[in-house]
Amino acid sequence: MTSLRRTDILSLIHLRSDGRRPNEIRHMSCHLGALPPTTDCGSALPTSGCSGSALVSMGLTQVLCVVRGPCDVGRRSEELPDRATLEVTMRTTPFSPPGDRRVTNPSTDRRLIEQSHLLQTALSASILLHLFPKSKISVAVMVLADDGGRLEASINAATLALMDAGIPLKDMVCACSAGRWNAGGSDEIVVDLNRREIQAATGSAGGGGGAPGGGGTSDTIYLPVATMPQRGTVVLAQCESRLSGGAEAFGEVLEVAMKGCQMVMEIMAAAVRERGAGLWKAKEGKADVILVD
């Protein structure tokens, strides 16, 4: 990979490397019910057993999420007496990372474990777990293609899969990332970073222990954020860059990220409506979708 200069990120015509403007998110497509809950062959083949599924792609990053539950907890020791247990696993496929990244073992990769845990806590803020005591909701996320932002895509996919499974949520959890560079003296806050931009922002080429490129002098921020847009609250935020200005700069980027989440939510809501309309139509013959503001 050729070395990436930060000035390449925002070219002179103010477009990013993939042709987006700084305030545009990647093309996002959501497909609910990607994995049918039961197979066609009846009992000959086992059902996929999932209550809901969703396939989300943000740009080139593609994530499949499958939700099973609420179901019985296998082990009594894992039961919680008053609420459901939320079990999240996140795995990458061997073909998902780009070619130059080292192959990591998905079951023991520390980043994946961390991101599974983040997913779990982010979702547990939204799922009404109290409605299902002593049961288990399991969310399995598979990253099919990783072009940056796999955590955000996973959160979005998990939310959609939960909605597809009919599990009650307080609000949709939408995730988006935002970042900031000092490109040529001017700060640019951009939304929904892809892999190249993340690498430029954090300076590491996909490995722990890499030296940050510009992290010392300029304020580069990479901030993945998950919010509940309708309630306006932040559910998850991670930032690992050194900011000299204290948290004010961080606050701006956070705002931009929240706006990005808002955009994501609109897309997701449209997908949910479409799915609902499709199901209703299959049942009733026709469906009218009326938006109530």
Q: Where does this chain bind other proteins (CB under 8 A)?
A: 75, 77-83, 104-105, 108-111, 113-114, 117-118, 121-122, 124-125, 202-205, 207-212, 215-216, 223, 226, 228, 231-247, 250-251, 254-255, 258
Q: Which residue has the tokens 């304020």?
A: 219
The Cα 120–Cα 131 span in angstroms is 17
We find the least distance from the C-beta atom of residue 159 to other proteins, in angstroms, to be: 13
| Phi, psi at 231, each rounded to 5° | -90, -15
The Cα 117–Cα 264 span in angstroms is 22
Specify the residue, 33 or 97, whose C-beta has the smaller distance to other proteins: 97
Specify the residue, 47 or 233, whose C-beta has the smaller distance to other proteins: 233
How many other β-carbons are positioned within 10 Å of the β-carbon of residue 197? Answer: 25
In contact, 180 and 189? CB cutoff 8 Å: yes
**DSSP SS3 for 69:** strand
Specify the residue, 40 or 100, whose C-beta has the smaller distance to other proteins: 100
We find the least distance from the C-beta atom of residue 121 to other proteins, in angstroms, to be: 4
Nearby residues of 253 by Cβ (< 8 Å), 6 or more positions away:
178, 179, 180, 189, 221, 223, 239
We find the least distance from the C-beta atom of residue 78 to other proteins, in angstroms, to be: 6
We find the least distance from the C-beta atom of residue 29 to other proteins, in angstroms, to be: 25
Specify the residue, 234 or 287, whose C-beta has the smaller distance to other proteins: 234
We find the least distance from the C-beta atom of residue 65 to other proteins, in angstroms, to be: 17
Strand ranges across the sheet with 174-183? 186-191, 174-183, 221-228
Specify the residue, 161 or 236, whose C-beta has the smaller distance to other proteins: 236
We find the least distance from the C-beta atom of residue 138 to other proteins, in angstroms, to be: 14
Half-sphere exposure of 54 (CA within 13 A, CB side): 27
Specify the residue, 29 or 233, whose C-beta has the smaller distance to other proteins: 233
